[in-house]
Structure 1
Amino acid sequence: MEFERLLKQVEFIHEIDKVKYIFRKTRLFNSPRHENDAEHSWHLAIMALLLAEHANEPVDVLKVVKMLLIHDVVEIDAGDIFLYDSVVAHTNTEAEQKAAERIFGLLPTEQANEYIAIWQEFEDSETPEAKFARAMDRLEPLLQNVSNGGGTWKEFSVDYGKVVEKKSVIKNGSETLWAFAKQLIEESVEKGILHKKT
């Protein structure tokens, strides 16, 4: 029985290796190379450990880290949707729900249920942990774009208003980090790496 359980867990471990092959639009800090989902998730988890003191409310950091490590696993099936995509909404979709059920469903039942629930909590973004996790998810690409002289903002002609709209989610998890993010956004305009619509 224990061996059966282990085999399910190992099957899941094999499956999530595919996350390493899902490349995002954003690039590594000061680099032309695109970041993959595994690197993104790892980076967010470290950020959460370091920045949890800035959360609006006390958070269960382990739960936040779990959310961040698994939040993009569904992209194995559903693919990565660019935050600034003007055609496809960057929201929880039926495809992502099916992906969560299939991928986490490889695990033993109680683990599958736990991980689907944690993934769904992140998507719903209502608890302090989910709000803070989402703040990390929105902050990291902003830091990357600043480090890359505008990065995807320049590449995809994303304007100031759209950046503020999408990044303002940060304030739900951390007013402090949102104040910092706003400062970076304003400095990016001053440097000419982010443009306001005229």
Structure 2
Amino acid sequence: MQFESLLKQVDFIKEIDKVKYIQRKTKLFNSERNENDAEHSWHLAIMAFVLAEHSNEKIDLLKVIKMLLIHDIVEIDAGDTFIYDTLKNHKNTEEESKASKRIFGILPKNQAEELIQIWEEFEKGETIDAKFAKSMDRFEPLLQNTSNNGGTWKEFNIDYEKVYKKKKEIDKGSNLIWDYAENLLNESVEKGILTKRN
């Protein structure tokens, strides 16, 4: 029984290696190279424990780290949808939900159920833990784009209003980090790397 569990866990470990091949639109800090999902998830997990003290409310840090490490695993099947995509809804939950059941379902039943539940909690974004995790997910690309002279904002002609609307979600997890992020957005407008429509 224990050996059977181990085999399933090893199969899962092999399967999630595919996350390293999922390219994101955002580029690494001060770089021309696109980030992959594994790098993104690792970076967010570290950000969470470094910045946890700035959460609006006390979080379960281990759960937040789990959320951030697994939140994009579903993209192995569903692919990465650019946050500013106008043709495909970024919240493609039906495709992603199906992917979560297949991929996490490789694990033994109790682990599969735990990870599906954590993934769903992140997607809904309603709990204290999920709000903070989502704030990290929104904050990292903002830092990357400001380090890259506008990065994907410039590349895909994304205006200040669209960026502001997506990034405002940071505030739900951390008012302080949102204040900092909002300042960066305003500075980006002043520097001409982010354009206001009016």
Q: Paired residue for 1:67? A: 67
Q: Give the Cα separation in 1 of the matches to 2:184 and 2:10.
A: 42
Q: Give the Cα separation in 1 of the matches to 2:86 and 2:152.
A: 14
Secondary structure of the residue aligned to 1:84 is: coil
Percent identity over the alignment is 68
Q: Give the Cα separation in 2 of the matches to 1:139 and 1:190.
A: 20
Which letter does structure 1 place at the counterpart of 2:28? L
- 1:97-176 matched pairs, under 5 angstroms: 97-176=97-176
> Over residues 127-163 of structure 1, what are the superposed CA-to-partner deviations in whole Å (9 max), with x where a residue is unaligned?
1000000000000000000000000000000000000
Q: Give the Cα separation in 1 of the matches to 2:31 and 2:49.
A: 24
Which letter does structure 2 place at the counterpart of 1:30? N
Q: Paired residue for 1:192? A: 192
Asked if the contact 1:92–1:123 (Cα under 8 Å) also holds between the matched residues in 2, the reply is no
Q: TM-score, normalised by structure 1?
A: 0.99
Cα distance, 1:92 vs structure 2: 4.2
Unaligned runs of 5+ in 2: none
Q: Give the Cα separation in 2 of the matches to 1:75 and 1:68.
A: 13
Q: TM-score, normalised by structure 2?
A: 0.99
> Over residues 85-125 of structure 1, what are the superposed CA-to-partner deviations in whole Å (9 max), with x where a residue is unaligned?
01111114211000000000000000000000000000010
Q: Paired residue for 2:15? A: 15
Q: Give the Cα separation in 1 of the matches to 2:58 and 2:92.
A: 26
Q: Paired residue for 2:90? A: 90
Q: What is the Cα-based RMSD across aligned positions, in Å?
A: 0.5
1:46 and 2:7 correspond: no
- Aligned pairs, how many? 198
Asked if the contact 1:27–1:151 (Cα under 8 Å) also holds between the matched residues in 2, the reply is yes
Cα distance, 1:47 vs structure 2: 0.1
Which letter does structure 1 place at the counterpart of 2:85? D
- 1:27-42 matched pairs, under 5 angstroms: 27-42=27-42
Secondary structure of the residue aligned to 2:113 is: helix
Q: Give the Cα separation in 1 of the matches to 2:195 and 2:125.
A: 29
